[in-house]
Structure formats: C-alpha cells, structure tokens
Amino acid sequence: MDTSTFTHFCRAGHEEVLERLAPQGLILIPDTVNAEVEDGREAGYDIPALATLSWVEIGVLTEDESMTQLYIKVDMPSGKSDRPGKNLGECAVLACAQHREMIAVIDDGDAREQARARNLKFITTMRIIAEAHRRLDDVDAEHLYEALIATGMRLPKTDSFVGWAYAIGWLPGD
C-alpha cells in the first residue's frame, strides 16, 4: 500500500476499514513507504507508527525488488524540478506487487499507468471505499468518502459516491 491511502485513512480516523478489508488481515507497506509515513508523523499528522499495528507488515525490498523499483522509477514521468525521491514509494509498491504477486494499492495516475504497462493488479482508494460499502455493513461509504476529502486527499469529485460507484459498475445493481 502506498503512503497516501494509508495516511489519509488514518488521518480520517478510519484505518480499521483497511484492516478489515486486508487480504488475510495483513497489509504490506514497503520500507520506502514506511519512511514517508514516518515523515508525516514527524510533521505532526495523527498517524500511528506502523510497527505498532499487528495488521501491518513493513516489507524490506529484496535486491530484485530494489532493481525493479529503480526500473519503474526510470519509466515514471518526471520534471527537472522534481526531487530525486519523487514516486519512490509508488515504485516500491509496484515492485512488491510484481515480485510477491500482490495487489498494489495506488492512486497516483503515473503509477497506475506503470501498473497497467506491467500487467500488475492494483486498486485505488475509490475502489476500497466501494468495497467497504459492499462488504462492511457498518461503513457508510458517503461518510468515508467525505472524511477522506476532509483530510485533503485528492479523490475524484462526485456529489454521491454510491451513485458514482453504481454508475461505473463497482457496486451491483439491485
């Protein structure tokens, strides 16, 4: 899972949704992403330390995964003013997904393009909200969507999340 999804769910007070939807009850956070999460904690965001969460595993990239991370980074668009570490978290998530045959959780458009180019499975925050609506009876998708927007998370704008999710086929019709 990439930084933005994890941190915004935590900041919105809904990290339990991630835990409850996690395959086998476990989410893998690459060490590169953990460093970004720690940067957010140091900046004062209300985010728990990953090491304290029993349902989160911090993944140290293998040598092969590190090489794949760099190959993906090279293929990611960048500008002259971009910092050297830009997109390293997304690249680590994709490298783990490739080598460990996992589903990447990414929102960044360039990262989604890299996932498609490499035939990697991925989901977005919007899909997680739809899955929460579909599978967790006590989760209000509209409230969850609005809570994430309130943290400053950049998500597609919609007047009704549930209506939008039905319209694109993520929620089954009655």
CATH number, domain at 50? 3.40.50.1010
Query: Is residue 80 very low, low, confident or very high in pLDDT (cuts 50, 70, 90)?
Result: confident
- CB neighbours of residue 122 within 10 Å: 21
Name the amino acid, one letter, at 136: L
Query: Is residue 100 very low, low, confident or very high in pLDDT (cuts 50, 70, 90)?
Result: very high
As a whole number of angstroms, the distance between CA 57 and CA 83 comes to 27
Q: 23 with 76, same domain? A: yes
Total tally of structural domains belonging to the chain: 2
Q: 73 with 111, same domain? A: yes
Query: Is residue 85 very low, low, confident or very high in pLDDT (cuts 50, 70, 90)?
Result: confident
Secondary structure string (H, E, C) spanning 21-76? HCHHHCEEEEHHHHHHHHHHHHCCCCCCCHHHCCCEEEECCCHHHHHHHHHHHHHC
- CB neighbours of residue 151 within 10 Å: 17
Q: 7 with 44, same domain? A: yes
Q: 90 with 134, same domain? A: no
Q: 17 with 101, same domain? A: yes
Q: 133 with 103, same domain? A: no
Whether the predicted pLDDT of 65 surpasses 60 = yes
Q: 117 with 91, same domain? A: yes
Q: 88 with 66, same domain? A: yes
Contacts of 62 (CB under 8 A, 6+ apart): 99
Q: 21 with 56, same domain? A: yes
Q: 95 with 133, same domain? A: no
> What integer pLDDT is reported at residue 24 of this predicted model?
85
Q: 94 with 47, same domain? A: yes
Q: Which is it for strands 104-105 and 122-123: parallel, antiparallel or unpaired?
A: parallel
Query: pTM score > 0.75 for this model?
Result: yes
Q: 112 with 145, same domain? A: no
In a domain, 74, yes or no: yes
> What integer pLDDT is reported at residue 146 of this predicted model?
97
Give me the chain's average pLDDT, please: 93
Mean pLDDT of 124-153: 96
In a domain, 173, yes or no: no
SS3 category, 122 = strand
| Domain of 43, in residue numbers | 3-125
